[in-house]
A and B are shown apart, each in its own frame.
Chain A
Amino acid sequence: MASATVHDHAHDHDHHGPGPWTRIFTTTNHKDIGSMYLWFSLLMFFVGGAMALLIRAELFQPGLQVVQPEVFNSLTTVHALVMIFGAVMPAFVGFANWLIPLQIGAADMAFPRLNNWSFWLMIPATILLMGSFFVPGGAAASGWTLYPPLSTQGGIGVDMTIIAIHILGASSIMGSINIITTILNLRAPGMTLMRMPMFVWTWLITAYLIIAVMPVLAGCITMLLTDRHFGTSFFNAAGGGDPTMFMHIFWFFGHPEVYILILPAFGIMSQIIPTFSRKPLFGYASMVYATASIAILSFIVWGHHMFTVGMPAAGQLFFMYATMLIAVPTGVKIFNWIATMWRGSISFETPMLFAIGFLCMFTLGGFSGLVLSIVPVDITLHNTYYVVAHFHYVLFPGAIWALMAGVYFWLPKWTGRMYNETLGKWHFWLSAIAFNVTFFPQHFLGLAGMPRRIPDYALQFAEWNMISTVGAFALGFSQLLFVYNVVSCIRSGAKAKERQWESADSLEWTHLPSPVPYHTFETPPDLRVAKAAH
């Protein structure tokens, strides 16, 4: 360990090479690129959040007060696209960049230049997506699912969105190729597959999901593009096509996408919970198998997004059974995490608070998912606020809290400085309360029959909407605490220990100083004996 430090200092010359701007554009260092991904996604998180607050401001009261209905539709559409493709996915790729080489004992990612390119591709894509608000006809306003024929009606903003998704998809595919190659080829001697930290495992599986489904999305939106401009009729009944086919293809991508957003979060949880329970992860092997089962099942459940298209009973029943089945491996994961805490020695630093919050809220989101898997119940709740509540329960405290927990957890390692623990706890508790005030009432709205994606609503929905909006603003603004905490940690945090969390046992904690040097593991650590001791 000590020798590694000395070794790295000897090679520290890259810091003094290119100037800061050249470095940003040309860097091939996984830590630089990881940080760039994380900062980018943080920015996009606030852009998407601002759109969400505009949506909630309009829904504060019945009537039209803040935005025109078509702008409202664009906001719901782009809010989703920004959060999925601009915030959550890049943030996980940022974590992958930072952590995978460190956790498997590799010097860098397998394809460093590809890595640089997959980051920089996101910038023109984002400019296209955000720029679509300012072109004639406005941004895409058909919901993020872009169902035709509605999406064939829009102006050039829809084309810009399609191209943006194409580019983001290409970026994700390149990132995934990089991740898979790195994990399969660059592991240190002794780092067998079944000794990899869970974060690495979940990303390996996620990367395969991305490679499998992103091209499907690309094909789907390309057909949409040619329907719009080149006279094809893939999705136009008048020309022999079928709008339902778009939904099938879209959701064949869309459902695995849900797991692309959550599996790496499972990985982060599986590292944080054991660390603060001071106990190894319960059922490591079954966690790996459960993750793989979830990924495989995710390919055969897409029909549950479209029970109301009028598919035959056999189709509805198949997709219902398959969807319910996902509850089994997901349940196994929840039980394993609880069993990890069982007979542990738990402390409640900020990452652990977020992890426990994740467990509670994700379980609730799982229940509403189970309710929605039941076809007849889904039919009465489809496209209502119940669905909105459900997926925000799995994505906000699921994906976003896992990311925040991860940032708090690894900041000491990345920066060599500690964040402010009190502020972190405030951030958690404010987020937890505000999140539930925002989204719990939306279950009631959905049960009472309020459709989603409407800018205005009947009077019976007024009370819960008002409460939800109040919660949304509290939730949005409490995230500023996070930014403040991260920035002040980087600038003036107290010095962090090499092994800030004494039970953390992946390589970045056991083999590397804090902050991690610019170059690490140029000679891979030999883990054939050493790791067995843990």
Chain B
Amino acid sequence: MKFMNAKFPEYAVASWVRYAIAGIAVLLSPALALASYDVNIAQPASTIAAQIYGLHMYILYFCAAIFVVVFALMFYSIFKFRHSKGAKPDVNFHESTFIEIIWTIIPFFILLFMAIPATKTVLDMKDTSNPDLTIKATGYQWGWRYDYAAEDLGFYSNLATPWSQIGQPGEPATEAKGKDYLLEVDHPLVVPVGKRVRMLITSNDVIHGWYVPQLGINQYGIPGFIKDVWFRADRVGTFKGQCSQICGKLHGYMPITVVVKSDADYAKWVEESKAKWGNKSTPLVAAPGTAAQEPDPEGPLLLADLKSRGEKVYATNCVACHQATGKGMPPAFPALSGSKVVLGPVDGQINLLLNGKPGTAMASFARLSDLEIAAVMTYTKNSWDNNVGKAVQPADIKAQRKS
């Protein structure tokens, strides 16, 4: 079984195919010559991904060979046995047990040759033993949370592309799209290079998919269950992915970024991050520049302060559904401007934010800090057509969280 241990075809061959097809595309359309025409799996960055890449090329070569044979026979028939060229049908050639057996057995053996290396990779992928590091990834609508078990460290990772680059139907984007449009996050997952990283994947609400192709991982996060996968990044770099399983309105807007650092850089990052996020009792919101990193203040805060903090929290967490205008997109996403819940008793709105509304897209935002919830409530009560004129204090949230 030589091929079991043989190294899979290296990327040189693959890039030949890539260049050939890209070349054709370029010839067809010189104006588009500068654009990106990727035609293959991205360069692998982990041992598993490298095996997957090789396996895909290996299967593709088999398919290409079969393709040539099948299409050659078919097109030979099409050209050779034409009615218009006076071909006479051989009506007795319609049965041959021998041929039927041959073309049942040969494919079977070809499949065997495909199955053996695939089996080896499956067993490798499934072996999550002896990790150097374990990280839990939790999907929620719509972002990720990463918890480093051994480091007592955890943080949220959300889309960093502003809505002004995305736009709305009828309202074109006001800002040019950046290089990493929709693939950039505020706080990436950081891992050390060359270490066996075991990922525990789960979810907080619906099924999500933690998908980073260059690391060879695509794993559903299933609420109530934890599944494990592993990777060993083979070089320092930044690797991008996205949620792979439809998870509601903003499924297309929950990217994943993994930054692979050297051991020294990773240790430094852990120290810095612990200072920011080490205290697990303070959940964090992802929006940069919000008060998330600060502990909740003791005394009452001014309405204007809360409102301006709240605007930022709103921009990160609420704006996609309820819109910058507060008018929402009824009926799925109700307006907050003039809303009975927002203008009504404080407790009702706190309850909605902490627990969500089952059966709708309104998720729980209990992960936000007391200060952030108070701020965003103050903002919604005093923006657009709403003019309650009163602030909500973090203490109110704390009180209801406990009850």
Contact = CB atoms under 8 A, between A and B. Distances in A.
A70 B332 CA distance: 9
A288 B32 CA distance: 49
Given A67-B169, A308-B220, A376 B252 contact: no
A375 B122 contact: yes
Nearest to B85: A345
B67 A363 contact: yes
B223 interface: yes
B329 interface: yes
A331 B89 contact: no
Contacts of A344: 77, 81, 87, 89-90
A338 B77 contact: yes
A126 interface: no
Interface stretch (A90-98, A366-374, A411-419, A489-497): A366-374
B149 interface: no
B181 A62 contact: yes
B173 interface: yes
Given A316-B122, A463-B32, A383 B218 contact: yes
Contacts of A449: 41-42, 211, 213, 241-242
A527 interface: no
Contact of A283 (B41, B52, B95, B218): B95
Given A68-B329, A346-B81, A339 B99 contact: yes
Counting contact residues on chain B (CB < 8 A from A), the size range is 35 or more
B114 interface: yes
Contact of A153 (B56, B99, B360): B360
A285 B95 CA distance: 9
B115 A453 contact: no
A383 B122 contact: no
A187 interface: no
Contacts of B125: 375-376, 379
Interface string A60-72: 0011111111100
Interface in B207-240: 207, 209, 211, 213, 216-220, 222-225, 227-229, 240
A190 interface: no
A484 B93 CA distance: 39
A150 B247 contact: yes
Given A153-B361, A346-B87, A360-B71, A244 B169 contact: no
B118 A367 contact: no
Contact of B225 (A147, A244, A284, A451): A244
Contact of B250 (A69, A335, A356): A69
Interface centre among B78, B87, B332 (most CB of A within 10 A): B332
B384 interface: no
A309 B333 CA distance: 30
B89 A458 contact: no
Contact of A63 (B55, B177, B179, B243): B177
Interface string A430-470: 00000000000001100111011111111110111000000
A384 interface: yes
Interface string A149-165: 11011110000000000
Given A342-B77, A343-B89, A444 B38 contact: yes
Interface of A is mostly: helix
Interface in B60-88: 60, 63, 66-67, 70-71, 73-74, 77-78, 81-84, 87-88
B251 interface: yes
Interface string A87-111: 0000000000000000000000000
Given A147-B207, A328-B108, A456 B220 contact: no
B220 A453 contact: no
B38 A279 contact: no
Contacts of A379: 52, 125, 216-218
Interface in A284-339: 284-286, 308-310, 312-313, 316-317, 320-321, 324-325, 327-328, 331-332, 334-336, 338-339
Given A153-B359, A317-B122, A380-B218, A324 B251 contact: no
A459 B177 contact: yes
B248 A150 contact: yes
A153 B206 contact: yes
Nearest to B39: A444
Interface stretch (A1-9, A133-141, A217-225, A508-516): A133-141
A321 B73 contact: no
Counting contact residues on chain A (CB < 8 A from B), the size range is 35 or more
A340 B74 CA distance: 10
B300 interface: no
A143 B99 CA distance: 43
Interface stretch (A23-31, A195-203, A235-243, A251-259): A235-243
Interface in B228-279: 228-229, 240-253
B23 interface: no
B84 A310 contact: no
Contact of B37 (A342, A346, A464): A464
B6 interface: no
A293 to B, nearest CB: 10
A310 B220 contact: yes
Given A340-B94, A458-B180, A383 B244 contact: yes
Nearest to A72: B252
A280 to B, nearest CB: 4
Interface centre among A141, A284, A363, A454 (most CB of B within 10 A): A454
Given A316-B126, A341-B81, A377-B59, A458 B183 contact: yes
B49 interface: yes
B334 to A, nearest CB: 10
Contacts of A66: 169
A347 interface: yes
Nearest to A237: B224
A346 B82 contact: yes
A328 B36 CA distance: 37
A258 B117 CA distance: 28
Contacts of A448: 38-42
B304 interface: no
Interface string B154-170: 00000000000111110
Given A149-B207, A347-B84, A379-B125, A334 B70 contact: yes
B324 to A, nearest CB: 14
B103 interface: yes
B74 A143 contact: no
Nearest to B255: A458
A378 to B, nearest CB: 9
Contacts of B104: 328, 331-332
A312 B183 CA distance: 31
Nearest to A329: B104
30 contacts: A63-B167, A64-B168, A73-B251, A142-B246, A150-B247, A153-B359, A155-B332, A243-B224, A283-B99, A308-B244, A310-B229, A320-B119, A332-B103, A340-B94, A344-B87, A345-B88, A356-B78, A364-B67, A375-B122, A376-B48, A376-B55, A380-B52, A443-B39, A444-B40, A448-B41, A453-B252, A454-B252, A458-B180, A458-B240, A463-B35
Given A237-B223, A360-B71, 19 more contacts: A62-B177, A63-B165, A63-B167, A238-B224, A243-B207, A244-B222, A282-B94, A283-B95, A309-B220, A310-B201, A317-B122, A320-B122, A344-B81, A346-B83, A364-B67, A375-B125, A376-B125, A449-B42, A454-B242
Nearest 5 pairs of A and B residues by beta carbon: A237-B224, A310-B227, A454-B252, A136-B331, A343-B90
